[in-house]
Structure 1
């Protein structure tokens, strides 16, 4: 899966490079961010529809590392939320064991359409790589006036890195406390807001010189 993600990222970044001067920056962003919205809400739907059921058969490979006798009370019980399933594990195993084996137990219990999940993740990577990943950096070099371009791009880069840091910091907490379905729906909502901003406010910069763009933007 990691190899597929890496290959998808590289291939669609090359696609963006090939198309950015042909179909324009704005259209690439609209296509890519629309795809991100679809992928995020698909992930949210799939995780919302997932169920979690531990069986004696699914626990057998974990018997050597986990005291499965403490889980007897929930074997065969179907949970409709990852949050309630994790809460049950915490109550039965205690905080230390629950933290150590939670991912293994979730993998053993979860019932969902794994192919759709993987395709949605790859789709997100592809849509990001063809749009927000490379295109925004091109736009940053075109939208700011010449007199502040260097400082502005540095500042935007700082903000971008800060937001990326916060997402990576908060994502595990969101999964643990809000659930996977809500977490992906949350990011899908942000992508939808971003798409609306792109459609309403972003000018097309393809084929325009920096001087022309500065005149247009100052006028607007």
Structure 2
């Protein structure tokens, strides 16, 4: 919501009258604060919290390293793409694009992430091991005539 507020402010900025601007000038600051608050309290750290639950114990160290590498790579690419995005679609368009990407991430995460509340790490690992075995059995059954 804060990214959308920043996009709306950037697009509507030329149309805001000086009387309204006295109050509206706080919108980007508050939106920026809420964006980083939300990122720091959930959206930004959740992939690091899930690593301990989702990755099997024998692959955790390699998986954590790979996730860290990809996370930093995508942060780098995101930061480097900002000047290009501002030049091509403007500040409002950039914030709108990031809003859309966050919404897509939330929808995909909602439908693909399993619920692990109340499960121990062993239960979660057993769940994924059983899923993997089921996939192998299904593959074998499709390959046989």
Q: Same fold by TM-score, threshold 0.5 exceeded?
A: yes
Alpha-carbon shift at residue 206 of structure 1 (Å): 3.7
Question: In 2, distance between residues paired with 1:167 and 1:113?
Answer: 28
Name the Cα RMSD after superposition.
Answer: 2.1
1:48 equivalent to 2:11? Answer yes
Structure 1: how far apart are the matches of 2:23 and 2:6? Answer: 11
Greater length-normalized contact order (CA 8 Å, ≥ 6 residues apart):
1
Q: Which residue of 2 aligns with 1:89?
A: none
- Residue pair 1:51, 1:112 contacting (<8 A) in 2 also: no
Q: Matches of residues 87-106 of structure 1 in structure 2 within 5 Å?
A: none
Report which of the two structures shows the higher radius of gyration computed on alpha carbons: 1
Structure 2: runs of 5 or more not aligned = 16-20, 132-145
Aligned mates of 1:124, 1:114 — CA distance in 2: 17
Say yes or no: does 1:218 pair with 2:129. yes
Aligned length: 126
Following TM superposition, the consecutive aligned residue runs of length 4 or more in structure 1 with deviations greater than 6 angstroms are: none
1:172 to partner: Cα distance? 2.1
Superposition deviation, residue 112 in structure 1? 9.2
Q: CA deviation at 1:173?
A: 2.1
TM-aligned CA deviation for residue 111 of structure 1: 9.8
Contact residue 141 and residue 149 of structure 1 kept, 8 A:
yes
Matched with 1:147 is: 58
Give the TM-score taking structure 2 as reference length.
0.78
Which structure has greater helix proportion? 2
